[in-house]
Each structure stands twice: as C-alpha cells, then as structure tokens.
C-alpha cells in the first residue's frame, strides 16, 4: 500500500534510520509505515521548485522562527 501525503498524493517510501547493523528493525519500520500504523509528521511540504525555501527553513528557520519538525519535498512526475 503506497504512502499518501496530506493532499492524497503518493509519496516516496524512504525511511531514514540511523542504523545499518539491524536490517530487521528497518524492515519492520518500513512495514509499519506502509501499513499506515506509523505516520510521518511533516510540518510543511514544499514543491520541488521551492527547494531553496525548504533548505532556508531547515537551516535558518527563515520565515518561521518557531519551526520545529520535518519537511517534505513533493516531486511531480509526468508519466505517460
């Protein structure tokens, strides 16, 4: 089952975890995310052309001094 953004669009299944030693834990995290039991919390989602704004927000909290959390970057693909 694909993961969906708050707008209902499919998002990439990419979970970053600080472990390489325990692949089983990473696989379990992937299963939980795909089943909808583990939902990533994104504070803000940017379009790809806004990647500079996304970086400034993460690096300098530019535009939102109270920013805390994660961001997403939505990449539109044109498939025939």
pLDDT in tens, 3-31: 565 566 665 555 555 555 677 888 888 88
For 1-80, strand residue ranges (E) read 3-4, 10-11, 42-47, 70-74
Tell me which range, 14-18, 52-56, 57-61, 73-77, is most confidently predicted by mean pLDDT: 52-56
Q: How far is CA 46 from CA 25, 31, 37, 43, 77, in A?
A: 29, 26, 24, 10, 15
Q: Which residues are registered as beta bridge partners of 47?
A: 74
Q: Which residue has the higher pLDDT, 67 or 14?
A: 67
Helices (H) and strands (E) in the chain, counts: 2, 4
Q: How far apart are CA 68 and CA 57, in angstroms?
A: 10
Nearest alpha-carbon partner for 13 in 48, 39, 45, 46? 39
Instruction: State the average pLDDT over residues 33-58.
Output: 87
């Amino acid at each position: 089952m694909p993961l969906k953004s708050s707008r209902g669009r499919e998002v990439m299944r990419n979970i970053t975890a600080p472990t390489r030693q325990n692949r089983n834990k990473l696989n379990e995290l992937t299963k939980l995310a795909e089943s909808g039991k583990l939902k990533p919390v994104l504070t803000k989602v940017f379009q790809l052309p806004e990647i500079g704004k996304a970086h400034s927000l993460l690096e300098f909290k530019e535009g939102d001094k109270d920013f805390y959390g994660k961001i997403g970057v939505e990449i539109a693909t044109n498939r025939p």
